[in-house]
A and B are shown apart, each in its own frame.
Chain A
Amino acid sequence: MPRRLAAAVLALLVVVTSSPAAQPQFWEIDEAGEFLEGDLLGLSVDAFGRVRLSSAAPVLHNPASPYVWTLARDGKGAIYAGTGNDGKVFKLAGKETTLFFDAPELEVHAVVVGRDGKVYVGTSPDGIVYAVGPDGQPTEFFDPEQRYIWALAFDEKGNLLVATGDEGKVHRVAKDGKSSEVILEGPESHITSLAVDGGRVYAGSSPSGVIYRIDPDAKKAFVLQDTLYREIKALVVGEGGTVYAAAVEGSDKEDPSRAAPMPTAAAVPAGTAEVTVTESFVGILAPQGPVAPGTAKTVESPRTGQTKGALIKILPTGETDVLWSSAEEMPYALRRDKGGVILGTGAKGKLYRVGDDRTWTMLAALPVQQLTAIEAGDDGGIVIATSNPGTLYGFGGGAGDTGTFTSKVLDTETVSSWGRVRGHAEIPAGTQMRLETRSGNTATPDKTWSDWAAVPRGEGEPIPSERARFLQIRAVLEGSKGVSPVLDSIRVAYLQRNLRPQITSITVHPPGEVFQKPLSVTGETEILGLDPALPSGGSQPTPTPMMPVTTYSRKLYQKGLQTFAWKGEDPNGDALVYDIEYRPVHDTRFRPLRAGLTDTVLAWDTSTVPNGRYVVRIVARDTPANPEGLALSGEKESPPFDVDNTPPAVTVELAGQGRVRAVARDDSSLIRKAEYSVDGSRWEDIHPKDGISDSLEETYEFQPRGLGAGPHVVVVRATDLLGNVSTARLNVD
């Protein structure tokens, strides 16, 4: 990386990571995904984050079974619901529900109504197909060897198609049930879905998520698509032979669907709502925060390997398109709809309409976990089967009377004071919207939270909830005569409480150990943390903060310099400046050394202070991000360290009998070692008389080698603990 570019990147990093606590933060909910993160009851959300009242969804029947797996409708409009874990089929005719058939097996995953008026019920495990007459009397129609029956459908000739697992086969059973043949037998463990379009049969499988097109007469199957999903849960055929597949659990193979775009604004038809009034619900705090309107937000399609499911469209030409995908929601049920499909998902019980142009609208969120089947209802509506708990809902018609959006919990990370909340909505005459908030200091709302409090309508009113760390918003929409208000966005301002910065560590490097700047502006060797005014540094002033000492910095030695490095943290993420102070250990008063540093390293020229033992104190201040009076500081003292820039004093004399006596003395640090040299020969170690170098003064007596007939010069060299060196000379005649 070019040096100039690298420096610019460093500077940018520092700027971006500063997050001033004294300035308001903003929490904005304006995208569909952000609304979907919360709980929506009685509301729909389109791909552009517009929230409006959804159609009413009355409970039609609660069968007291955990799962309603499948639905079928007969010619008279009666609905048959297959359930688990008691293997029961319920019949919903008008407003009356009866137990239609109770199978010996646990689960009923497939129900279809035949042209003969009988209801065909596929059970699991030990899969059997029962033909149940209108009177509820069953006869065993087909008993395949396979364990599960996942799907049933009639072909155009009236033969029953039976999709099975845990051997994935499709059986074709004659109308009278007396003969059958296998029309698909592949390597898959399960055939989980079937769809019939004229003479063509489509089947979806698991665990490889293959979509087959079967020619039943030729008993020939063609792989329409080998998807990157583990299961094709549902199939429907639309106009012109377009196949829609609900695919479950993306795999981590190569991912061609990554290029599938998310819904785009250009693809959406113009809104049809009759807008009468546009108003700002409550005024917003004036200053623009870090999340300013128009800030770019990147939306990426999740990788297939990360997705719970997708809706795949396959054109008759073989072209495929991913219309919808989700990393959180799994699709279970499909139904044809004009210009697309209706999709039921879990685990938050959501119903979507997905268009061929990839636009989507979340039509409703029901208080269940999975929407497992969809069937046509009366008056153009639909009937929805759910699981966990198992319930039958009706859905359709005009907008309901009321709906509630409850946001996810906002964690401000510190106790915060609240600014103002603004809900931007279109509110036609006769309709209403109100916002409410509550706050608390536990991540999950509980009894300790404040009660929901309505946000007053009008400018200048702050959020009425108590100061706390967590906040939740609720929007209640009330319609009138089938007309709904439309909520576009909610924006909340808050101010984090300023928290004290901390110095988490101080490293005192050995005396003289310094580090070279990784990036030098001048091209010469520059020392990290050295005051540029000092002549020993030799560097030019630099406006950019320096990098902390890392193991990647090149280590150098420069006498008289003492390097400190530290780490400062601010819980608010505020930018910090540092003041450095020092004191001798025996003194209690700190003296300023440097002030206002943005670096976290300092190379101190200790030649400016007397020898001795010292302590430094690093004070971190968050003044760049907070006004005077609100700014806080935190500090930490270093362990004591020695400053000694004076070499020891050495005296040398003859001690008689050819021996030499040397005395080395230092005023502040221990004598580390002593050596001698005769006539410029190599240095030889000598040892103190007491055998150990442990004091400020050491005496040495030694017999120099090679001291024959003179004259000779004996030089003694002593080194103190901080590396200061001095020598003394003795002439021997």
Chain B
Amino acid sequence: MAAPLAYLMSNDFEPVKVEKLDVSVTSYETNQSATLERAWVERTGPVRAGSDVEVKLLFRTYRGDTVSETVPLKLPANARPGTYSLVIADAPTLTTMEQREMRQNFLPNDLDQLIRAINSLRSNNHLYLRLLRADDGAIVAGEFLQSLPPSVLSVMGTAQGDNVLPTRTASVWEHDLHTDYAIAGSRTLTLALER
């Protein structure tokens, strides 16, 4: 809570007045943490565009109990055949992966972009699933513009300055799994889409 407030109050763009804060606290007397122990895709036949598969997740809690979750993955109807990566990661891991691709610190261009970034901050009780394919895109002014057509890429690719950075992957499906635990861990699965 302190960090987003600090970002807002110390922003370089314009003064911000905070009218109110809504804080909701739920207290537990146990350690509510878990690690991602296993992840696998359960399917009965070939994986094709538009088909449904189940992503199975197995967590181990602080007390050693195992908890399983199933996430339905519906492949987009326009997904192209090829090899995809299914990234399953906790919030810090996914953010680190994105920052690695961005190759520089995020610097918002205006207050709107800063607020959008704060609103999209990730929670530690979520597990994030991203189905990625190799596809060219760009990071422009700190924003991911994934899967761009060649003409746009060629114009942005010849731009002067370092405001545009190329990216090589695009997310075709995303899911945020809310859990009752502070989640840690990540797995990357490979999924081959057949024609």
Contact = CB atoms under 8 A, between A and B. Distances in A.
Interface of A: 66-67, 84-86, 104, 106-107, 109, 124-125, 147-148, 150, 165-168, 185-190, 192, 206-207, 230-231, 233, 248-249, 330, 332, 346-347, 369-370, 372, 387-389
A532 to B, nearest CB: 64
Nearest to A246: B151
A150 B151 CA distance: 11
13 contacts: A66-B160, A109-B152, A125-B143, A168-B78, A185-B77, A188-B78, A189-B78, A189-B135, A233-B151, A330-B151, A347-B154, A369-B155, A372-B155
Contact of A190 (B149, B160, B163): B149
Nearest to B149: A206
Contacts of A165: 147, 149
A66 B149 contact: no
Interface in B154-190: 154-156, 158-160, 163, 170
Contacts of B77: 185, 187
B145 A67 contact: no
Interface string B90-111: 0000000000000000000100
A85 B149 contact: no
B151 A347 contact: no
A67 B149 contact: no
A104 B156 CA distance: 19
B139 to A, nearest CB: 11
B141 interface: yes
A346 B154 contact: yes
Contacts of A332: 151, 155
B141 A85 contact: yes
Interface string B107-151: 001001000000000000000000000010000110111110111
A148 B145 CA distance: 9
B78 A167 contact: yes
Contacts of B150: 206-207, 230-231, 248-249, 330
Contacts of B46: none
Contacts of A190: 147, 149
Contacts of B159: 66-67, 388
Contacts of A370: 154-155, 158
Contacts of B149: 150, 165, 190, 192, 206-207, 230-231, 233, 248
B151 A248 contact: yes
Given A84-B140, A230-B149, A248-B150, 5 more contacts: A165-B147, A206-B149, A330-B151, A332-B151, A388-B158
A86 B77 CA distance: 33
B69 to A, nearest CB: 26
Nearest to A205: B149
Interface string B67-95: 00000000011101000000000000000
B147 A166 contact: yes
Contacts of A330: 150-151, 154
Contacts of A248: 149-151, 154
Contacts of B80: 187, 189, 207
Contacts of A124: 145
Given A125-B145, A192-B151, A330-B151, A167 B158 contact: no
Nearest to A191: B149
B155 A346 contact: yes
Contact of B158 (A125, A189, A249, A347): A347
Interface of B: 49, 76-78, 80, 109, 112, 135, 140-141, 143-147, 149-152, 154-156, 158-160, 163, 170
**What's the dominant secondary structure at chain A's contact region?**
strand
Contact of A187 (B49, B109, B112, B155): B49
A327 to B, nearest CB: 14
A165 B137 CA distance: 12
A239 B145 CA distance: 37
A107 B152 CA distance: 11
Nearest to A370: B155
Contacts of B170: 166
Contacts of B112: 104
B125 to A, nearest CB: 26
A67 B155 contact: yes
A298 B88 CA distance: 57
B151 to A, nearest CB: 5
B147 A106 contact: no
A186 B151 CA distance: 20
B147 A189 contact: yes
Contacts of B49: 187
Contact of B160 (A147, A186, A388): A388
Contacts of A189: 78, 80, 135, 147
A389 B158 CA distance: 10
A677 B154 CA distance: 85
Contacts of B144: 125
Nearest to B146: A166
A388 B155 contact: yes
A134 to B, nearest CB: 25
Contacts of A369: 155, 158
A66 B160 CA distance: 8
CB-based closest 7 A-B pairs: A206-B149, A166-B147, A233-B151, A249-B150, A187-B78, A231-B149, A387-B155
Contacts of A66: 159-160, 163
A185 B155 CA distance: 27
Contacts of B158: 346-347, 369-370, 388
B147 A231 contact: no
Given A85-B141, A125-B145, A369-B158, A231 B76 contact: no
B170 to A, nearest CB: 7
Contact of A106 (B76, B140, B146, B151): B140
A416 B46 CA distance: 67
Contacts of A125: 143-145
A187 B76 CA distance: 9
A499 to B, nearest CB: 40
Nearest to B77: A187
Contacts of A148: 145
A151 B41 CA distance: 38
Nearest to B137: A166
Of the listed residues A86, A188, A190, the one surrounded by the most CB atoms of chain B closer than 10 A to its CB is A190
Contacts of A86: 109
A347 B154 CA distance: 9
B76 A167 contact: yes
A147 B112 CA distance: 18
A189 B134 CA distance: 13
A186 B155 contact: no
A306 to B, nearest CB: 15
Of the listed residues B154, B158, B170, the one surrounded by the most CB atoms of chain A closer than 10 A to its CB is B154
A649 B150 CA distance: 84
A143 to B, nearest CB: 15
A147 B76 CA distance: 15
